[in-house]
A and B are shown apart, each in its own frame.
Chain A
């Protein structure tokens, strides 16, 4: 059933779900919502399967019109949301045909998740409806949404009821880490340096990876090694000493030493950090 028509797409609005595991050996990243916790929270508000496809809204929100009576839920980053021009803070909105919804100012966090009752309908590609923009497949025609796109609701209902917690939206992000596979390439002093430093999210961070900028090590690793597997949460340290945290659409292999690994739960926190935000690493 036709549910929503996009009037303005926002900066990067894509269909995402729980991800696309099982194909990394071919170079297909895990894919899926950057903040899985908020995706689940939005779905649970509507009784959807927790991993049902949602819209991931990045930094600048969309504007859309309901083409039929539709219930939506919003979780994750906080936007000033207007329904027919009136601001609302309700997480669940029952829309009548013709109602318009506009995501206005971003108040907190970086990524909001919009669930549709029954999930956003999109074809399953390698077991997932998530959009992988670099590979130009999945989600809505393998791309981010544009004005005029019409989204349909699916039938992805929950089998169990569960109320997941939402992701905290703090000014500063603390990521719990365990040692990475190449942690022993770094001296104790180097590791302490990385744990003590205050890092900033680089503005060119995206769904592939978050680059962190901060004080470089005085004696960096030589950085020459055979490529190894990467997954979301892997923290690579290139010779310039600026860590890269692999995210959901990240490359599946890489040749820089993996100094840390971020706990899966905490990747959700990083997904809500904007360019310039402060990030710290702590031992899990």
Chain B
């Protein structure tokens, strides 16, 4: 499903339809922001219906596998113990299963560069925290339901934090500013606290 949504989003952008301002793919929906003074909703709907019915899915250039270093040390992973308890396994097993999963970027959103990753080992599923934190550090790796997410900026958040990466997902002055692409494959490699703190920026 998510592959079809992202493919449809790429198609809408490539078509360069006058009046289309923004295209936001999500897990099972595509939001198109358009100027009704330039393009009529009925015309846009007709174009999309035809495309969806054709069942052609665009090629998605997802790039190479991204390797993301993650420190799962308790001081960077305040919810690791709680998540391990919830899932009925040791903390070591959580880390082992998490770093063995092959993730894909299903969605970017919420805040600049935040990535929603599908493909996690289902045994690690865990609900969001009952009460969100006022501030989650940049680079935090979180679990909510059966997804993993990476906080690209320091922000409020309710995901269960199980690690932190020194990689910056969003850097305005980098080209491209966003590190990960839709559908890109991501793997996590455990690093130590020393490596996290000494990571070259």
Contacts and interface: CB of A to CB of B under 8 A. Distances in A.
Contacts of B84: none
A191 interface: no
Contacts of A254: 110
A253 B172 contact: no
B22 A231 contact: yes
Interface string A120-160: 00000100000000110100000000000000000000000
B9 interface: yes
A265 to B, nearest CB: 11
Interface residues of B, number: 30
A134 B153 contact: yes
Interface of A: 21-28, 30, 125, 134-135, 137, 181, 226-231, 251-254
A229 B24 contact: yes
A26 B181 CA distance: 9
A27 B28 contact: no
A253 B153 contact: no
Interface of B: 9, 21-31, 33, 107-114, 116, 152-153, 155, 170, 172, 177-178, 182
Contact of A25 (B23, B27, B116): B23
A23 B111 CA distance: 11
B39 to A, nearest CB: 14
Given A27-B152, A253-B24, A231 B172 contact: no
B109 A253 contact: yes
A279 B167 CA distance: 43
A230 B113 CA distance: 16
Given A22-B22, A24-B22, A26-B178, A134 B31 contact: no
B27 A27 contact: no
A192 to B, nearest CB: 26
A229 to B, nearest CB: 3
Contacts of B112: 26-28, 135
Given A226-B28, A253-B26, A25 B33 contact: no
B115 to A, nearest CB: 9
A25 B20 CA distance: 13
Contacts of A137: 172
Contact of B21 (A21, A229, A230, A252): A21
Nearest to B24: A229
B108 A25 contact: yes
Given A25-B108, A26-B112, A135-B112, 19 more contacts: A21-B33, A24-B31, A26-B109, A26-B178, A27-B109, A27-B110, A27-B114, A28-B112, A30-B33, A125-B172, A135-B111, A135-B153, A135-B172, A227-B116, A228-B26, A231-B24, A251-B110, A251-B111, A252-B110
B22 A134 contact: no
A134 B107 contact: no
Contacts of A230: 31
A227 B109 contact: yes
A231 B109 CA distance: 12
